[in-house]
Structure formats: structure tokens, C-alpha cells
Structure 1
Amino acid sequence: MEYATFAGGCFWCMVKPFDQWDGIEKVVSGYMGGHVENPTYEDVKGGESGHLEVVQITFDPSVFTYEQLLEIYWMQIDPTDAGGQFHDRGASYATAIFVHSEEQRQKALASRDVLAASGRFKKPIVTAIRDAQTFYIAEDYHQDYYKRERARYEADREKSGRDTFINEHWTKA
């Protein structure tokens, strides 16, 4: 098993796209990239801890590859927005790929370069590729939010503009 860690704005919206495939053992919401030990949701949301909201995926690369995870990741975010994602604004909602190995770094860089060269986006790709740091699991009420709070999850996605963006950039190929 390996880990993949992605920041894509609100972690509630980043679990479901990865949580439905063979070879994915689990997808956990949490925090990475900051300077405060054991941050809380309030610490992260307030922007003082330096952490980003992330999902950490435990996967079997012989069944579901890192490249496949990267493809799904890019299709969930606006990689040109440095100020957050959709209606979630601020540094804790920025996009980033946290790599756990040099091999992941090379694959992430290559996938970013392919996306940048594709012409799919008019603005430059600003998603950071960073070294993985300590992963802090988010509070229990954030885990599997799309399953436990389905109506609220769907309303938040609708309000955010994420699905409209995805449809405009990925389904209208």
C-alpha cells in the first residue's frame, strides 16, 4: 500500500471522487503542510496554522495507479486559482499535491506539465507540488461527510460552484 495526499479546497468534496474505486483502501480527511502540531479545524480554517485541508488516500498501486489518482485529482479542482477553491477562500483551501517519494514527484510534475500544455485552461497552473509532511487526521465529524450528511454535502457542492466548473472544463471536451 502507498499514500497519496491531495489538497483541493474543502476536503468534504475531495473524498467521494476517490472513495469509489477498487484498489483504494481508504480516504481520510485531514491537514498537512503547516507549522502547528495537532491542529484543529478552527486552527486550520482560521489560517494561522499554515495547514491545508487534504485527503490522504491509501491505495494499492498494483490495482489503482498513482497516475490514475492524479487524473482524478486534476478533474476535481481549479488548478489556476491560488486563492482557494470555489467559494472556499483562503490559504487553507489552496491546491497542492503532497508527494511521498521522488517517483511521485516526477509523476506529479509530468501530469502538471501535460495539463499546462493541453490548453484546457487560459491561466497558468498554480497548484503546488510539495513534500509530504506530518498528516493530522481531521475531527471525526469531517470523515465520510458525503455519506453521513448527504443532503448538506450535496447542498454545499451545489452552492460552491465546483460541479459547474468541472462540467465546463471536463465534460465538454
Structure 2
Amino acid sequence: MSAEDVIKAWDQPEARGAVHPTRGISEDAYQASGHAQAELLAADIPAGAKVLDFGCGDGRVAIPLRAMGYDVTGADASPRMLAALAERDPDLATFQSDGSDFGKHLGRRKFDAVYCLAVLIHHDYGTGEQLVENLRAVTKKGGLLALDWPVSDDPSDGHGWLGVTTWARERQDEIATRLKMERVDADRPWSVWRAL
């Protein structure tokens, strides 16, 4: 699926319930999952770091991470999601982007850490690879990237915004080598990379 297709699907009224599996349980469970993920990120990202949350949605992870003292900027392609985030935390810096236009919004600004959770899994290989390249480009040398970029012994393009795209580890490693990223050994539900 292309970025445009994902954005259109995301902005449909029925998408709100499909944003995260815990939303089907309760709003409290949904918010608690964001706090838990923010705590995991904080275990890897230095205190007070400048952080980009790409695919920030309604701020489920960005808001608790900012409350921990991080300088968080949220970016999302969906104006609806950014509006929902602004309702919850109007002071959190955000910008609308599908990941192809960071220079327009950031100029030469780079981040100590970038995380992208539950985004790459919705995109086809070409779009996913381009997103990883663009995220790496806004990460400082020595900075961290936390990417929900799953590998599989039987990789496949998820074919639809609720499908999950998985990658061959060899292909992922080729991309990482080209982009000067080194895998960090971390026991997380996502992969962690250091920008070289």
C-alpha cells in the first residue's frame, strides 16, 4: 500500500477503532499501552533528547514520552490524528507529513532519536524503504532509530492497511548498510538501530 492509500484508510470513521488492538478493550488500556511503550523507548533514548515520533497518531506514545522530559516532535500524515493529539496536548510540537517532505518542515534539523511504531507495517516495500531512508536522514550521527520494521522467514507485503508487511532480514540488513545504520541488540518489540 502507498502512503496515500494508508492516509485515506486512516481517516475513515471506522479506522478509529482499528488504530490499536487495546482500543477494543478500553480507552484506559489504549493509553496504558502508550505509557508502556514510552517507558521502553526511554530505556534506550538518553534523558532530555530531541525525539521525532513519526506516525504519532493521537499522541498515545508521544504525550507520555514528553511528560518524561523528552523534547518530542510529532509528525503524522493524518490531519485528524494531529487534531486529536492537539486536543490532548496542545503544546506538543507537530507537523503534517507523509515522510517524504521532512526538509520542508525541519530544514536541516536532526534528532537524537526517531521512532516509528505501527507505520512501516502498513506500507509496501518501496514506500517502506523510502520512509526508513527519510527517517535516517533526520537522525543525528550516533542517534537511535526505533522502527517497527518486522522481519520474517516468510516475508510478505501486507496488501492492505490492516495487513502487516514483513521483511527478509537480509534485505533489511542491505538497506541498513546502505543507510549507515547498525542494529542495536535490544530486547524490544521493535528493532533499534544506531545511525553511523
Taking structure 1 as the reference length, the TM-score comes to 0.33
| Relative contact order higher in (CA < 8 Å, ≥ 6 apart) | 1
Taking structure 2 as the reference length, the TM-score comes to 0.30
Higher helix share: 2
